[in-house]
Amino acid sequence: MEYKTMNKEMTLRSVVSELRDGMTIGIGGWGPRRKPMALVREILRSDLKDLTLVAYGGPDIGMLCAAGKVKRLIYGFVSLDFIPIEPFFRKAREAGGIEANELDEGLLVLGLEAAGQHLPFLPTRVGIGSDVMKFNPGFKMVQSPYEDGETLLAMPAIKLDAALLHTTRADRLGNTQTDGPDPYFDALFARAAERCYVTAEQLVDRMDLSHPDKVKANLFERYLVTGVVEAPLGAHPTAAHDLYGWDHEHLNEYAELARQEDGWNRYFEKYVAGDEETYVERAGGSDRLASLPLPAM
Amino acid sequence: MTTAQNFTLAELVICAAAEAWRDGGEVLATGIGPLPRIAAGLAKLTFAPEILMTDGEAYLVEEPVPLGAPRSERPSPSGWMPYRRVFSSVWSGRRHAMVTPVQMDRWAQANISALGDPMKPKVQLLGVRGFPGNSICHRNSMFIPHHSKRTFVEGEVDVVAAVGFGTGRWPGGKPHPVDIGIVVTNLCVMDFNGPDHAARVLSLHPGVTFEEVQDSTGFPLIPADPMGITPAPNDEQLSIIQRLDPKGVRAKVIKGNPPGLRAA
């Protein structure tokens, strides 16, 4: 009966209180898709700083850069898809204030996989001959010990102090389910991290009792999950398949503000300052956000 | 099938670009951007039924998805292709992508990452994205909508995102094999199969001269022997292109949407 007393439920604030300045934090999702934005906003409201962020970035990375939370970025890309270059990321990069470890998208997979397997590196050809080597001066080569003797890149493990993920539903034991056509790399982020915090559109008591038919949507084991937070619409303004799409209108306004001198402060004051309840209201109300259409291809 | 008389340069380019996938085997064909995507669909619906395509999200489809098709009209999937499997496909080599770099150099190295110093870029572009892995693992072709010295640069590209035939960047100076398919521009079709992988013009689009192409390129070109004229589309190809792009996105890709046959 032990598990009946186990309860990993947390609040956005209690998750952020477990994070520290200077940590390496991985953020799940992919560009403007399934980002744990409620947690990102809670970080924006906190005084956390000097973070190293690891992501297939979207507005999560742009906002944290704009707010001066970031010391170093390890990224496969930072994009809003329909706006190909994340506007605040672009601004931060062109200002040159952030250490940028730009990676090939696949190298980020290998770095997270190595960390999850507690390996120092995984060998690959990817990156050799390209300026990925310039963006990552610490990368070293390794020679195959077999007959071929090929020289390969030893892609180092990317160990995370914490991973932040958004899921469709979670239970209090830490079981999660993620709907949608693509799991992206959330499971690799969970495995690479010391601690993994998950937000969910819906929190249930026991997934096995309420959603056994969806069990294939479970992407990683609950022993990887430190805490779960119920955060309906918590991916907004990014998409959360199959529930709601990304918010074009909101992201266009955000991108427009990136062109303005005090644009970030204005965005923060208009939307982020306050709490998630006020956020949803200011962003147009829960009915509007919940009915945002999923993007056409 | 008769050769059409009325067609745009974009339509000529789509037909030329489709040729990238001819006799390439059963590979994942990825056309990034409207023209390459229509071109891959055209190849699949005419001479290359074997190629695999995705719906642009996470599924494999046997019917190419028309540009801008609403979710409700998407063909039913034949397989699952989340990003994790896209990388597996890339690393296995069984993929042929057509991409549009911002810069390309004489060594076929390509840049989409940034302009200027990569550490403090003058202009941040897309980042290297999947180019390093794509270029070292599988064949890549290119589509360039505006053939100019700004794209085909004199020296080396500002950021080497896709690897090429230069020797300076390889461990021990020993180049890794690189597989470039074709480079289709608004002026011509090229490859990098000249002596020592020199850039070579395979065909000129109707009315274009070799001199014009050379003057628009920052490095020396070699005319193929023989150097042909890029074939005009036929009616069947044009009707498939219309089906794959019912809203006419292709008209917005090449500046001014010029006709395929230049006015004399």
Domain of residue A196 covers 2-104+158-290
Q: Are residues A77 and A94 in the same domain?
A: yes
B94 touches chain A (CB under 8 A): no
Counted residue by residue, chain A has a size of: 297
Q: Is A107 on the interface with B (CB under 8 A)?
A: yes
For chain A, what percent of residues have pLDDT higher than 90? 96
Percent of chain A surpassing pLDDT 70? 98
Q: Which B positions 114-143 lie with beta carbon below 8 A of chain A?
A: 114, 118-133, 135-137
Coil, helix or strand for A53?
A: strand
Is residue B3 in a domain?
no
Q: What letter would DSSP give residue A141?
A: E
| pLDDT at residue A295 is higher than 90 | no
Q: Give the integer Cα–Cα distance in Å for B256 and B264.
A: 17
Q: Which residue has the tokens 């439920």?
A: A9
Name chain B contacts of A32, Cβ cutoff 8 Å.
none
Mutation target vs A (from B83, B176, B178; most A CBs, 10 A cutoff): B83
Could you tell me the residue range of the domain that residue B28 belongs to? 9-252
Q: Which residues in chain B are closer than 8 Å to A79, comparing Cβ atoms? A: 126
Residue A296 lies in a domain: no
CATH of the domain at B48: 3.40.1080.10
Shortest distance, CA A294 to any CA of chain B (angstroms): 8
Which member of A79, A128, A132 has the closest CB to residue B128? A132
What are the distances in angstroms from CA A231 to CA A6, A21, A33, A56, A100? Answer: 20, 24, 16, 21, 31
Residue B19, domain member (yes or no)? yes
In a domain, A113, yes or no: no
Cβ distance A296 to B71 less than 8 Å, yes or no, reads yes
Looking at the domain assignment, is residue A297 inside a domain? no
Q: Give how far the C-alpha of residue B259 lies from the chain's centroid of Cα atoms, to the nearest Å.
A: 20
Same domain, A29 and A73: yes
* pLDDT tens digit sequence for B153-201: 999 999 999 999 987 888 877 788 999 999 999 999 999 999 999 999 9
CA distance A278 to A264: 18
- Mark B20-49 as b/e (b = at least 16 C-beta within 10 Å): bbeebeebbbbbbebbbbbbbbbbbbeebe
CA distance A9 to chain B (A): 30
H-state helical runs in chain A: 2-5, 12-17, 37-45, 59-66, 87-95, 105-116, 132-135, 186-192, 207-210, 248-257, 263-267, 276-282, 286-290
* Residue B58 to residues A74, A166, B33, B76, B178, Cα–Cα distance (Å): 25, 19, 17, 12, 28
Interhelix angle for A59-66 vs A37-45, to 10°? 0
Is B1's pLDDT higher than 60?
no
Average confidence score pLDDT of chain B:
96
Q: What is the C-alpha separation between B141 and B51, in angstroms, rounded?
A: 15
Q: What are A128-187's pLDDT values in tens digits?
A: 999 999 999 999 999 999 999 999 999 999 999 999 999 999 999 999 999 999 999 999
Q: Are A182 and B57 in contact (CB under 8 A)?
A: yes
Number of domains in chain B: 1
Other beta carbons within 10 angstroms of residue A82's beta carbon come to 13
- Say if residues B119 and A98 touch (Cβ distance below 8 Å): no
Domain match, A219 and A89 both? yes
Domain shared by A80 and A137, yes or no: no
Look at residues A170, A292, A174, A296 and name the one whose alpha carbon lies nearest to residue A239. Answer: A292
Give the total number of structural domains in chain A. 2
Find the mean pLDDT for residues B105-117: 97
Q: Is residue B20 part of a domain?
A: yes
Interface test with A, best of B87, B88, B165 (most A CBs within 10 A): B87
* C-alpha atoms less than 13 angstroms from C-alpha of B23 in its C-beta half-sphere: 1
Taking only the tens place, the pLDDT of each residue in B190-247 is 999 999 999 999 999 999 999 999 999 999 999 999 999 999 999 999 999 999 999 9
| One domain for residues A98 and A200 | yes
With CB atoms and an 8 Å threshold, state whether A131 touches B65.
Answer: no
Whether B133 sits inside 8 A of A126 (CB atoms) is: yes
Handedness of CA A105, A111, A116, A119 (dihedral sign): positive
Q: Which residues of A touch B135 (CB under 8 A)?
A: 130
Peptide bond into A50 cis (omega under 30): no
Predicted-assembly ipTM surpassing the 0.90 threshold: yes
Which band of pLDDT confidence, cut at 50, 70 and 90, is reported for residue A292? very high
- Main-chain dihedrals φ then ψ at residue A43, nearest 5 degrees: -65, -40
Which residue out of B163, B247, B249 would a mutagenesis test of the A interface target, given it has the greatest number of A Cβ atoms within 10 Å? B163
Instruction: Out of A75, A104, A182, name the one closest to residue B58 (CB).
Output: A182
Instruction: Give residue-wise pLDDT tens across range A54-65.
Output: 999 999 999 999
Q: What pLDDT was estimated at residue A4?
A: 55
